């Protein structure tokens, strides 16, 4: 899955589409019996300023988070409770058909972590064991050993522009590569 974003609005659409995909039965977190047994973990890779935090902010918005979602660079980890939507209990029961429901969104920035150990101190194992959790982590390559075998990978790159602003400025176009790895 590859996308080009020319604006924040495009990124918002890509974030929504991605959410739709993961809530509507990508094979990722289903066990052999079709039961979801683990959290859904998404690694966001890309240089500083490519839009990893922005992407997560749109995910949060799309999930109904009303509080401001700031970059967790300094606090490392933030948790947002997700509002229950109408019909969500029915939806949860009918997961196979309609999709899964998350209760918590975790936003982690591993940039300042020295290694996986620091992530484990934050309760990582417990977080990724709970199927009600949706976890977005920036700089997953810095804690590669802690990443669950099955997770999504989103890589974002600045694209050079033909004219106008330099590549690497915040207005530059972005390319999103979205993969599921196992
Ligand atoms: N798709 C986009 N279009 C335009 N500007 C963007 C886009 N994505 C991010 N930005 C801007 O780029 C800057 C850095 O984004 P940020 O999400 O903090 O990057 P990162 O988390 O990868 O370091 C912000 O000012 C943000 O508004
Ligand atoms: Mg960031």
CA distance 136 to 123: 15
Nearest ligand to the CA of 54 is: 1
Q: Is the pLDDT of residue 24 over 80?
A: no
d(CA 171, ligand 1 centre) in Å = 8
Q: What are phi and psi of 98, to 5 degrees?
A: -105, -15
Determine contact, residues 134/105, Cβ cutoff 8 Å: yes
* Mean pLDDT, rounded, for 50-61: 96
pLDDT of residue 165: 55
Q: What is the DSSP string of 10-26?
A: HHHHHHHHHHHHHHT--
**Superfamily for 2-23+37-161+170-181?**
P-loop containing nucleotide triphosphate hydrolases (3.40.50.300)
Q: With 50 as the cut, is the pLDDT of residue 96 above it?
A: no
Q: Among 54-58, 65-69, 99-103, 139-143, which is the least confidently predicted range?
A: 99-103
Task: Give me the pLDDT at residue 59, please.
Answer: 96
Checking if the pLDDT of 112 tops 90, the result is: yes
Q: Which of 16, 54, 142 to mutate to test the pocket of ligand 1 (most atoms within 8 A of CB)?
A: 54
* Average per-residue pLDDT for the chain: 85
Say how far residue 58 (Cα) sits from the centre of its chain.
10
- Alpha carbons 113 and 126: distance in angstroms, whole number: 18
What is the spatial distance between Cα 31 and Cα 35, in angstroms, rounded to a whole number? 5
By DSSP bridging, strand 174-181 and strand 40-45 are unpaired
39 sits in which H/E element: none
- pLDDT tens digit sequence for 130-139: 999 999 999 9
Q: How far apart are CA 89 and CA 101, in angstroms?
A: 9
């Amino acid at each position: 899955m590859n996308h080009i974003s020319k604006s924040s609005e495009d990124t918002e659409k890509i974030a929504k589409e991605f959410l739709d995909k993961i809530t509507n039965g990508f094979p990722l977190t289903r066990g052999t019996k079709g039961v979801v047994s683990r959290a859904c973990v998404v690694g966001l890779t890309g240089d500083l300023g490519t839009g990893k935090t922005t992407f997560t902010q749109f995910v949060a918005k799309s999930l109904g988070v009303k509080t401001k979602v700031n970059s967790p660079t300094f606090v490392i980890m933030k948790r947002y409770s997700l509002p229950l939507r109408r019909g969500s209990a029915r939806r949860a029961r009918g997961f196979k058909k309609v999709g899964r429901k998350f209760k918590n969104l975790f936003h982690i920035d591993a940039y300042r972590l020295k290694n996986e150990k620091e992530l484990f101190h934050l309760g990582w194992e417990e977080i990724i064991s709970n199927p009600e959790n949706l976890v977005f982590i920036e700089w997953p390559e810095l804690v590669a050993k802690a990443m669950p075998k099955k997770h999504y990978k989103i890589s974002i790159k600045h694209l050079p522009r033909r004219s106008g602003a330099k590549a690497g400025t915040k207005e530059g176009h972005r390319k999103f590569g979205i993969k599921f790895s196992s």
